[in-house]
Amino acid sequence: MDLAIRPAARDAIGAYVRLTKPRIIVLLLITTVPTMVLAAGRWPSTLLVLSTLIGGTVGAASANTINMVIDRDIDAIMRRTRTRPLPAHAIEPRAALVFGIVLAALSFAFMVATVNLLAAALTQAAIAFYVFVYTMGLKRTTPQNIVIGGAAGAVPVLVGWAAVTGTVGAPAWVLFGIVFMWTPPHFWALALRHAEDYAAAKVPMMPVVAGEEATKRQIVVYAVATVFLTVLLAPVAGLSVVYLALATGLGGWLVGHAFAIWQMGTRAAYPLFRTSILYLAFVFLAVGIDPLLSL
């Protein structure tokens, strides 16, 4: 009997983990730690870093879970998402919703106790924005959904800065802008690859509504804007020429892939998608390393 229960329990746990979209959470947390190092000017308290990461992880898991509950109807239509736990009937929607709400409450309580109120409040604001503004308000109504909705994914840098300083300074807002501008080209590359899925689900992503050519132009514009902000961060945050050189070189890499998608179309979509992830990780790695070089 015991052996029969264990696989079922393992499957259930796995389904709840998949609800939280762990790969997306990792990407969000990549931006948090370097921001904390920049805010502190050195490596901050390890306990504070861990507490911020745990609270942020639980908060992001909440937002992703509730997003899956709301989007379960379109997830069932799209080939890329139809095996997710809710369309696959691995979890009941009500149970998933309760799980997401409990995660939000745990995130807030934990961060208030271990980080500070501002960081906790910003995390809850990101959850609310992602659920109510992006998922419920924008995703199914406007091709600008991912542009405006990208603000939710940019909030972790504000959380990281607030965790260290108790405030949100100018460098934090530039970092916010970097992630905000980076999100459309990153996501539109994926949307170009899966445009038929979005069209079938009646989700007005840019490639579906405006077409491939317009989307490719917008990808280039946002990629260039992203690179501009990474360069602007140097004087705003007092970063060295080492960071500036890295940001410039990485920017050329990103813009090169953006122009490639303009020339080659959907064949270059997935390479840009993968490159954009590495680009963001390397830029924030440079942000985190630079203050440590001057110690």
Residues with Cβ within 8 Å of 108's Cβ and at least 6 positions away in sequence, in order, are 59, 120, 123, 124
Q: How far apart are the first and last CA of the chain?
A: 60
In sequence order, what are the residues at sequence separation of 6 or more whose Cβ sits closer than 8 angstroms to the Cβ of residue 289? 34, 243
Mean pLDDT of 45-68: 96
Asked if residue 193 lies in contact with residue 271, where contact means CB atoms within 8 angstroms, the answer is no
The number of CA neighbours under 13 Å toward the Cβ of 11 is 11
Confidence of residue 206 (pLDDT cuts 50, 70, 90): very high
Give tens-digit pLDDT for 246-279.
999 999 999 999 999 888 878 888 899 999 999 9
Rg value, the chain, Cα: 20
Say how far apart CA 2 and CA 62 lie, in whole Å: 31
**Model pLDDT for residues 210-259, shown as the tens digit of each residue:** 999 999 999 999 999 999 999 999 999 999 999 999 999 999 999 999 99
Predicted model pTM:
0.94
Phi-psi region of 205 (alpha: psi -120 to 50; beta: other; left: phi over 0): beta
Q: Round to whole Å and give the CA distance between 168 and 173.
A: 7
Using the Cα atoms of residue 154, residue 70, residue 76 and residue 219 in order, give the sign of their dihedral: negative
Domain limits of the chain? 8-143, 169-295
Which amino acid is present at 181? M
HSE on the CB side for 241, CA within 13 Å? 0
CB-CB contact of 138 with 148 (8 Å): yes
**Is residue 3 predicted with pLDDT exceeding 50?**
no
- State the architecture of 8-143 in CATH terms: Orthogonal Bundle (1.10)
Compare 23 and 43 and report the one with higher pLDDT: 43
pLDDT digits (tens, 9 = 90+) for 162-197: 999 999 999 999 999 999 999 999 999 999 989 999
Written as one letter, the residue type at 280 is L
Distance (Å, whole) CA 229 – CA 221? 13
pLDDT of residue 5: 53
Fold of 169-295: Four Helix Bundle (Hemerythrin (Met), subunit A) (1.20.120)
SS (H, E, C) 168-222: CCHHHHHHHHHHHHHHHHHHHHHHHHCHHHHHHCCCCCHHHHCCHHHHHHHHHHH
**Does the pLDDT value for residue 2 go beyond 50?**
no
Stretch 70-78: mean pLDDT, rounded?
Answer: 95
Q: Which residue has the higher pLDDT, 24 or 110?
A: 110
